[in-house]
Amino acid sequence: MRTYLTRQGDEWDRIAFEQLGSEHLVDQLIAANPKYQTTVVFAAGVRLILPGVKTSPRTSGPAPWRKVTSTPGAFRDS
C-alpha cells in the first residue's frame, strides 16, 4: 500500500494529479481516505492512502488551444 504525506496547503485535486496522474481521480483518492473527506486544504504531515488505480499516460505536446493553425493566404507577402 502506497501512502502520501501531505504538505501544508495541499488540496485533493493537486494530490490526485501529482500522485495518481490525473485530477479526475479525486473521487477514488477521497474514497480511500474517508476520515478526511470534509478536508479542503490539508495541514502538513497528514498520511493519506493512495489507491491502486490504473492511469493513462499523460499526453505530451501543446494543449489544444495552443495549437497553431493557419488559414491559407493569411500571411502572404504583398
**pLDDT by residue (tens digit) across 6-37?**
999 999 999 999 999 999 999 999 999 999 99
Q: Is 50 helix (H, G, I), strand (E, B) or coil?
A: strand
Q: What is the pLDDT of residue 57?
A: 47
CATH node for 2-53? 3.10.350.10
Q: What is the pLDDT of residue 48?
A: 98
Please state the domain extents for the chain. 2-53
Q: How far apart are CA 36 and CA 43, in angstroms?
A: 11
Q: How far apart are CA 55 and CA 25, in angstroms?
A: 9
Q: What is the pLDDT of residue 43?
A: 98
For residue 18, what are the CA distances in angstroms to 21, 30, 75, 76, 77? Answer: 6, 15, 41, 45, 47
Q: What percent of the chain clears pLDDT 90, i.e. is strictly above it?
A: 64
Residues 27-50 have a mean pLDDT of 97
